[in-house]
Amino acid sequence: MSKGKLEKFKEITAFRNTLELTDFQEEESQKPKGRWHSDIFENDNPIVLELACGKGAYTVELARRYPDKNFVGVDIKGDRIWKGAKQAVTEGLSNVCFLRIYIDHLDEYFASNEVDDIWITFPDPYPRYSDRNNRLSGPKFLKIYQRVLKSDGTIHFKTDSDDLFSFTKESLAKSDCKVHDVVENIYQECPDNKLLTIQTHYEAHYLQEGRSISFIKFSLPNVDISWELD
């Protein structure tokens, strides 16, 4: 591990806005499930997650724009989370928190109906067929989101991968999700949309490479999702 990563891991443990609760945590560590309003943010404002948040650019920018909401960036890579966490500390953003966990354990850290909305920005597309079950828009994860998201909550999904975008639309159709908005190419169809054109570190590179950025907004069904990937 590089010296830079070691320094970031050391510094992030001191950030009050970051919870590191991986599988390596001490058994007596108390998980924040059901306590986000009362103990973590100490208010009743809506809670919005950014999953696979990376360096937390979207999380921090959303927090700047919506001070009346609470934002939680979720990722397993602490050296990436460090940047967003440090930026939030530097700016004194009290409505931002970062959570270092594996996303397939999300329902261990959030209670039923505790989350109001979810953003998923540029997740790993897992292009190999054998890895499809790891895609964050597949049935495995949609079922997990059902356990934490309010019934009227929405999910916002951005990707530069055409294959992942097609897979996502198929997955939502099979899951009986309600699609509210579809944008095949954000920067051609709605370049003035200030929310959808928030750029992450990686998005800027994707645009330089000429890739199109797609978006879909949807809500989950009120019945259990029963289908599985083949």
Given 104, 124, 131, 162, the catalytic residue: 124
> Is there a catalytic annotation at residue 224?
no
Looking at this protein, which amino acid is placed at residue 86?
Answer: K
CB atoms within 10 A of CB 210: 6
Tens digit of each residue's pLDDT (9 = 90 or more) over 137-166: 999 999 999 999 999 999 999 999 999 999
What's the pTM value of the predicted model, to 2 decimals? 0.92
Q: Which domains does the chain have, with CATH numbers?
A: 3-19+45-219 (3.40.50.150)
Tens digit of each residue's pLDDT (9 = 90 or more) over 4-53: 665 655 565 656 787 876 554 455 457 899 999 999 999 999 999 999 99
